[in-house]
Amino acid sequence: MRKAFTKASKKWADEAGQAAINRDLKKMKKYCTVIRVIVHTQHRQKKAHIMEIQVNGGTISQKVDWARSHLEKQIPVANVFSQDEMIDVIGVTKGKGFKGVTSRWHTKKLPRKTHKGLQAQTEAAKMEAAKEENKELAALIKPKGNASTEYDLTAKNITPMGGFPHYGEVLNDYVMLKGCVMGPRKRVITLRKSLLQQTGRRATEKVALKFVDTSSKFGHGRFQTRAEKKAFLGPLKKDLERPKVTA
């Protein structure tokens, strides 16, 4: 059975491999002008999602040293982004096939008496990548017991009652964005720092999170927590102890 990176990992085991790695790093410091690192996700599947990210800031030697010091280490999202920051969201959306300008870019139709082409336009914008820019990072939160706010002091987690539809329970650190995100649940997306310095009123405002709805998303949710539901409904039949039957 073939396994990935078995030969590459043996380089770090012996002294000859370490010397070869140090020699390559010295060449990178001397000749390279751009340093990039290969990162992967910790998603629970056989093949991780791999991405190449360029290292910016400092000299080439500092970039190589920083990249080597972070090899095989997990980088949490809180070390990259901060609250109330404007970021870009990049992902893959469902294909809609070939479309005209009216359906693709929502341009205005021409009048009824127009001859040869009711939806024809003088110009149509070019197609761009599936990305949404200028999303405000509302919160960077740990998953346990952090759905409370200053206005709602109820001790609860971010996972709603019954879990998120088609996802389940949130166990890791999560990010709350102001706005929509492309793709279905569990779709891998890329968060990127904004390419421009945001100075608008919408970009500089402080988000004050007042309430997080944790009611069930599978129907008409009435209760925020299981304790609230139990206090309202009282003891149920399924909660009572059943007598043990002995043979």
Q: Which pLDDT value is given to residue 169?
A: 92
What is the separation of C-alpha 129 from the centre of its chain, rounded to a whole number of angstroms?
17
Of all helices (H) and strands (E), which one includes residue 134? Answer: strand 131-141
Q: Which pLDDT value is given to residue 149?
A: 83
CA distance 142 to 157: 9
Give yes or no: residues 87 and 37 share one domain: no
Which residue range forms the structural domain that includes residue 156? Answer: 83-91+141-246
Q: Which pLDDT value is given to residue 19?
A: 92
Would you write out the chain's pLDDT as a tens digit for each of its 247 residues?
467 677 778 888 888 888 999 999 999 999 999 999 999 988 778 888 999 999 999 999 999 999 999 998 999 888 999 888 889 999 888 877 888 888 888 888 888 887 777 776 644 444 444 677 777 777 676 767 778 888 888 888 889 999 999 999 998 888 888 888 888 898 899 999 988 888 888 888 888 888 999 999 998 999 999 999 999 999 888 888 777 777 6
- At 14, list the tokens: 């012996």
CA distance 136 to 243: 56
- At 128, list the tokens: 């761009």
Q: Which pLDDT value is given to residue 1?
A: 47
CATH of the domain at 50: 3.30.1430.10
Please say which residue of 48, 75, 102 terminates a domain. Answer: 75
Q: What is the DSSP pairing of strand 174-178 with strand 36-40?
A: unpaired
Q: Which pLDDT value is given to residue 67?
A: 95
Burial 204-221 (b: 16+ CB within 10 A, else e): eeeeebeebebbbeeeee
Q: In angstroms, how far apart are the furthest CA atoms of the chain?
A: 89
CA distance 92 to 188: 8
Q: Which pLDDT value is given to residue 55?
A: 94
Give yes or no: residues 204 and 87 share one domain: yes
Q: Which pLDDT value is given to residue 242?
A: 76
Q: What one-character DSSP code corresponds to residue 109?
A: P
Question: Domain count of the chain?
Answer: 2
Q: Which pLDDT value is given to residue 130?
A: 65
Q: Which pLDDT value is given to residue 128?
A: 44
CATH of the domain at 224: 2.40.30.10
